[in-house]
Structure 1
Amino acid sequence: MTENMETKLNNLSIENPNDDEDIVDPWNVVSKSEKGIDYDKLIKKFGSSKIDSELLDRFEKVIKQKVHHFLRRGIVFSHRDLNSILNQYESGKPFYLYTGRGPSSSSMHLGHLVPFMFCKWLQDTFNVPLVIQLTDDEKCFWRNIQMEDAQQMAFENAKDIIAIGFDINKTFIFSDLNYMGQCPEFYQNVIRIQRCVTFNQVKGIFGFDDSTPIGKIAFPAIQATPALSTSFPHIFGKQKLPCLIPCAIDQDPYFRMTRDVTPRIGYQKPALLHSRFLPALQGAQTKMSSSDENSTIFLTDSAKKVKNKVNKHAFSGGQATVEEHREKGGNCDIDISFQYLSFFLEDDERLEQIKKDYSSGALLTGELKKILIDTITPIITRHQEARAKVTDELVRQFMTPRKLDL
């Protein structure tokens, strides 16, 4: 995409979508369709590129292995300039990964695992450093959380992130509220970005208005800054390295702005990989939310609680009676248990057989829910066991500015 096209897209308002359009922005994800977000339409609206079979073939050729099932199944479905990163890796030149988490509760949920699971695979596959931004400052503005509480939530979320298995020698986790005061180079890059973005632009991108607090208006530059490698002098020195950002598609507005700015201040545009949302248990019209206990499965939930939530709240694509279901079959496009299995069941052949059996009516809704429970319960249990081993001291080590293995 050309810079002019991206600038034009930056001026598209997310504030007043048409009545029949999905709403996808950094704070809201809502669809009126029971099938959920129309991701093909979202690609056109945001101006990104679909990950097609040709790109997947090239990806596998470059890394010399099968791509992650998120890529194979279209869960990671869209990109910006991924080919530039594959070129970089193919030629033996360095790059790094950047992703983030906005800590709004002390416990992360199953949906939060998705981008970090994918980041872990990318880090292992490419053997590159990763920086993880905890935007505790953002939550002070948007959730009216006290700074001390936001910092504590960030620290607890870091434990969940570390439990996923990131390499401490290649991973730096940082809190905005702490790191901004520790690293003058980071703040200097914030200023460089802020000088390039007008109030009219952020109004257009984020829907801000004249009553928006100035902290919110200034924040997008802070989320953009980790895409500049010189923001981490302890890791990269003064090298200007390319950056790949895996994130959920709702974060794309921040990085459309970033990609418009970076060439103007002497940096390469960051590349992006966009993932779909893990829908709420009640249906695909919205994503999981920490604010609704029954819409999500928390990583702290017991096996009993997981079972109860799935059985009670997971929206079914099955028919009203067993007889009708046997005759007509279930709808995998709207069934939440099947949607979750597409994220967390790694066996492609088994997933396809489940889809075939449920669609034909051979597999009942209760049986499908049991398969989901049996699939995600061990994932959550393993996560809880790993998290219990993450000490406060280990978190501080991950969050200490230091040299990483490049």
Structure 2
Amino acid sequence: MNYRDEMVRKFRDEACAILDFWANYRDDAFGGFYSYSSFTGEINPQAEKGVLLHSRILWAFSKGYNVLKEKKYLELAKHCYDFLKDVCYDKASGGVYWSVSYDGKVLDSQKHIYNQGFFIYALSEYYLASGDAEALDLALKVFHLCEDHAFDEVYGGYREAFDRYFKPIENTLVCDTAEGILTEKSMNTHLHIMEAYTKLYEASHDEIVYKKLYELTKLILEKIIDEDSHYGLFFTRDWRCASKDISFGHDIEGTWLMDKAADQIKDAEFVKKLKAVTLKMAEVTAWQALDYDGAVFSELREGHLLDADRIWWVQAESMVGFMNAFEKSGRQKFLKLSLDCFRIIVSQLKDKVNDEWFWKVNRYGVPYEDKPKVEPWKCPYHNARACLEMYSRLMSADCEQLNVF
């Protein structure tokens, strides 16, 4: 077995370990999955169930099946899909709620567009796994709801926060800046709406979806990426940036998500321009965000690091983002940086006692025991996806190109 084959096996094994961990959180009494466990993995079966978490679980099991062809993952995806469709989707007003109780009662009925995007993303991947036309129809229905209620006809992009009936409300869930300003628009929501529309177009080949994907990708390139090759984070309705922070994790994650979107776009000149910009962003991340051992810092505020902690999702997205930059450029440094992230993950972030990954560790690899293993934002989306991406990319890579192996 050569080194590349060994790494392929390691990424497959790690993806399976993550998915199998989450399989144990299946709630057969009330549907869906248990949605909170402590640092050491003690489950609270009566914790609220985040709809965002469940969309990400559905996506992870669906993608796991699509890549690995393990039937058990498709069965788990079906269990999660049924819960989302039957309990979390508002049959009267459309869209999904923010959260429900452990036994399925609505707790937070907000219709945030970030949440709708992940629902679309998950249903599109589930359709590709299952062929269930109902899932694709529902994804398209929510797509049209987002366009009808959230699209900003004046300034472009999407207004984000709505009540149950799609009346605008304050954007407290996603757009709270360090300066204490609530803004109507965020990079994060727009990046993940783009991600959702990319997958929805792959699943549907719907020309309206294509038009909106192309339009949104251009907006991100023109309005959200700044002249220093970073994403602005929070914006007024007319696209004035309201935050000075830099999120290295989002910068590097966005490079490969934008490239995925570009792969669906038919405008060759635009795609060439976009991929040059995202490669520059990866270069800037490699220049500005690396610790001494290859770990990626999370965030700058006013030009200073917030901390030197290693956060699970930042290392996962950096691993894929640098691998993507290597595939585009052929520069060996990016491959090394990608594998450095995996080394940090395995040696520091992977919980070898209670499974899955720690939320974060300090610079010396010591985990924060106050951080839960599972909660509404701690999910299998980043780490399972990263391992499945690395597995797929290494499986399809040209052996001669990967001379480091």
TM-score normalised over the length of structure 1: 0.26
RCO (CA 8 Å, sep 6+): is it higher in 1 or 2?
A: 1
TM-score normalised over the length of structure 2: 0.26
Work out which of the two has the higher radius of gyration on C-alpha atoms and give 1 or 2: 1
More strand by share: 1
